Each structure stands twice: as C-alpha cells, then as structure tokens.
Chain A
C-alpha cells in the first residue's frame, strides 16, 4: 500500500512537473541572459490562462489549441514591453529591473481585475476529470496531455536556441555581450526577443495552468517562486536544466503534500531549496550563464 501510494505521488509529481518546467524556462531565459528577475512573469501566466478561458468559453476552442496563439500574443506584448520600457534601465543593477517588473506586474494584474473581475473562474472540458489506470497508478488524461505539451514546448525551445541564427545570437549575447555586438547583433532588438520568448513561454504555461488550476487575476504569483526554485534546482538559462528542475520540483511538491502535510507542500519544497543552496550556493547544475 505504502509503496503504491509513493508510486502514485511520483507519477503525479512528474505529470505536474511539465508546467513548472515551462514556467521556469521563460523565467530562466530572461534571468540568465539579461540578469532580470522578472516579477511580471506571473502576470503573463495569468494572461495566457485568461486567453484560453475566453477562447474556450465563447468560441469553444480547446485550450491545447490555444497554446500557440497564447505564445504569439504574449510574445508580441513582451517584445514591446522590453523594447520600449525595460530596455531603458536594463543595464542598471538587478534591483532596478526587479522593481520595474514588480510595477509592471501590479499594472497588468489590476488591468485584468478591471476587465475580468476578481471572481474565481475555471475551464471544464469534456475530458476534465477523466482518468485511466496503469496497474496501481491512476493517471489523469488532462495532466498527461499537459506533460506532453510541456515536453513539446521545451523541445521546440531547445531547437530554436541551438539551430536558428537568432537562437545562436541569444546564446552568444549571454556569453559575451561585447563580442556579440561586434559580430553585428542588435542587442536592443535581441533583448526584446528574449523577453518576448519569456512572456510567450509564460503565456503557453498559463494555458496549461488553466486546465488544472482555477483562474483569478493574481493566480500567476505563486508560480514566480516556483519558477525561482526550479531555476536553482536546474541551473539558469539551460533548457534541460529547466526540464529536470521542473520535474524534480513537481515530485518534491507531490511528496511534500502527501507525507509532510497538505498545505505544507510549498514549505517542503522551499526547505529543500534552502538545503540545496547551503550545499551548492549556485544551484545543483552549476553556474549561471551570465
């Protein structure tokens, strides 16, 4: 019995980890490449979730179909925010951009509050709540497809960063901004693309979040700290790191709520984070890209 329960927790953790990986991937790109702790990340997750909700409620678009759309819409928003706001102070110390993104997050969340109101909403699809059993383990279809979508998104991101010219320019800039500029990289434009990618990934993650969590304008905030933890577990600016960290975090949270106490899952994950940081002050997988 105990073993079966643990197995179920393990599976639930891995399934939940996909969302955390996508959340952390965008967060870690922005942090690793521009040294910005993006507190507006949660707001973009929320926007992605509301986009999926609106499309589903009014036009019956399946949330999985809205993932690319959410990515594109949030990418454009993020591009403009970086290009015309954050770029003006991007080379200032980390605290400055921290405050700026905090302000942006307040702004976006409160606009959403005016538009969507504060009541809790949810998406109920035809497959919500359906499961199948594999031996002693029950697997939810929604969570399984969420994980598959998350793997696809991280896979695409990895291809983009390693195989395209822009992706290589992004990695070059994170290694040596001066050398990248000398090779013809337009840093202002590139930074805007990176922030757009971060926001776009947050939007895509938001769609996935909307399938398993309830919606309200401040729903994205808890994911910021989760993104933080995953970055530390998995290392900054690496796609594989975000994936491993995300799944590790999902497992931690799942075991924490089962064996230590419901309502203590975040505390469990955070205590583990503290222990990791004490032993490895720069995260498990090593040092930051930047």
Chain B
C-alpha cells in the first residue's frame, strides 16, 4: 500500500530548517535555564517532577537523533538507558565509587561501544524490521542482565544516595542541557545534514558522498550516549536498580511519544513533548489516581487523531479552522 514514508511525515514536521522553528527553540532554552531555579523552591515534589521532565527530555532527544533526524525509528533506546543505570549501580556496588560525573562518562562510553557493536548489523535493516530488531535487543538485554549475578541478577541492587539531593537535579539538568546543545550543533553541522539526507533518501545520500553505515552508526552512538547519561543519574537518584526499573517499557515508549508530540526531527520538539505529556500525566494522576493510565491511553489516541504532526504543527496551519479540518483528513481512507 502506498503509505507515505516516515521521512515524509518528518519533513512536514521539520518546518523552518532542520532544527525546527528558531523562536520555539530559544523559548525552550529560556525555559530550560529557568528550570535551574527549581531546587531553590525547596519542594521535593517539584524537584522530582522536573527531574523527571529533564530525564524524559534527554531520552527523547537521544531518540530524536536516530528516530527523528535519521528516520530510523528505534524501539530499543532503553537498552542504553539501562546500561547507564547499571554502570552507576555497579560502580557503587563493586568499586565504591560515588562520583556521578565518572558514572555518566563511563556509562556513556560503554553505551556507545554497545551501540557500535549492535548498530553495524542492525542499522542495515529498514523500517519495521529495524524497529523489531531494536525492540528485540531491549527485551533480550533485560533478560540477559537478569541472569548475570555480578549485576545483581533478577533482584538488582541498591545505589548509594548522597545527602544533597539537589545534586541529582543539577546533574540531570546538565545532561539535558548538553544533549540540547549537542542536538542543536548537530542540526547545524554537515553531519546533521547527512542524517537528514539519509532519512529522506538513503541511496541518493550515498551517491552524494555520505557514507550511510558510518553516519547511521555514529548517530546511534550519540543517541546511546544521551540515554546512558540520563540512566546513570536516574540510578543514583532512584537509589535502587533492578531489571524491570532499568528497562521499563514506559522509559522506552514515553520518549518516542514525547518526540512525536513535540515534533520529531526538531531540536526543541522533545523538550516541548516532555513538558506537555508530563503535564497531562500529572493532571490526570492528580484527579483520577485509579484510572489515570486509562485516560493517558485516551489522550494518546486523541493526540494521534487530531495532532498527528505534533503540537507545534498547530503554529503552522494556514487557512484557520477550515485549513485545520482539511489537513486532518489527509491520511483518511
């Protein structure tokens, strides 16, 4: 059937150049800077909430590099999040190392190596086959780690927590800010254009001198490093890590939903998506604690039906209400 490629959708999303709408990007940079002030409120609830937003933004940005810019829709980025988390935990458990920065760096390096090893065979696959293979790696990694005693097996192990809890917040903020800056830099670089060229037409990109395999693997390594850094901080802040926590399916799926909601293939999209989705989730959780996941499912269905190209796309609709209604019917059968 003549379904449009992922590239077509993303091209429509990626309005205003490959990093997206510049105004939105600078507004989100401002929001990010303002978030540095959250620990000053001395409110544990807000600190946790916003650390969650920062974590999911980072994961979503990581996914965006491979799924949004390169057009390889990965369902396995949670592998690298888990690797980061386990690096943090193992450093404490076996080497009594508490240094967060060390955990982030080591986690990112291990994740990048893993992405290199997995990426060379997997990135040859296309479309749904790539998606399945990445989902497979996520499930297989969780099962394999559950069987390694050195990593705590199925029951996991505790991670030491420091007294100054805000440090975790600042660490997550730093990871998120670096990821945002990296995404922006990539979007303006030759490398970024190579990624988008692969997304739009891999054969044509190869003819024009882009080495697809090499570029895709590099993109996935960067993506993995972002996810691993978030994982390393998460494990320390969470104080405990086991396979279901490190490889949770929410951690896998939410960042993808966020990137699409905010606009895949734009620099600020993941941040916007993380804010919107967390706000929806928190509001629902506050009002309907028993059935908030049910409402969350309904929200996703409504968003896909009425905002299929992300919330920021509303800014771009021409022709008012009629234009909006017309553009919604584009994918109808």
Contacts and interface: CB of A to CB of B under 8 A. Distances in A.
B102 interface: no
A107 B122 CA distance: 32
A100 B298 CA distance: 9
A190 to B, nearest CB: 9
Interface in A64-108: 85, 87-96, 98-100, 102-108
Nearest to A218: B249
Interface of B: 1-6, 8-9, 73, 121-122, 124-129, 131-133, 135-137, 139-140, 143-144, 146-147, 154, 249, 253, 256-257, 260, 264, 290-291, 293-294, 296-301, 303-305, 308, 328-333
Interface stretch (A44-52, A247-255, A260-268): A260-268
Given A94-B6, A274-B137, A35 B1 contact: yes
B332 A264 contact: no
Given A94-B127, A281-B126, 17 more contacts: A35-B3, A88-B328, A92-B9, A93-B3, A93-B5, A94-B3, A99-B260, A104-B297, A106-B297, A109-B297, A113-B294, A114-B294, A173-B1, A267-B143, A274-B122, A277-B122, A277-B132
A283 B253 CA distance: 25
A264 B331 contact: no
A277 B1 contact: no
A91 B4 contact: yes
Given A35-B3, A95-B6, A229-B136, A264 B305 contact: no
Greatest chain A CB density within 10 A among B136, B143, B291, B331 is at B136
Contact of B300 (A100, A221, A273): A100
A31 interface: yes
Contact of A270 (B3, B140, B290): B140
Contacts of A278: 121, 124
Interface of A: 31, 33-35, 37, 85, 87-96, 98-100, 102-111, 113-114, 173-174, 177-178, 187-188, 191, 221, 225, 228-229, 232, 261, 263-264, 266-267, 270-271, 273-274, 277-278, 281-283, 290
Contacts of A266: 139-140, 143
Given A274-B121, A274-B133, A96 B308 contact: yes
Nearest to B131: A37
A281 B132 contact: no
A92 B139 contact: no
Contacts of B5: 93
A91 B331 contact: yes
Greatest chain B CB density within 10 A among A102, A232, A267, A281 is at A267
10 contacts: A35-B1, A91-B1, A91-B4, A104-B297, A110-B291, A267-B140, A267-B144, A273-B133, A274-B122, A277-B125
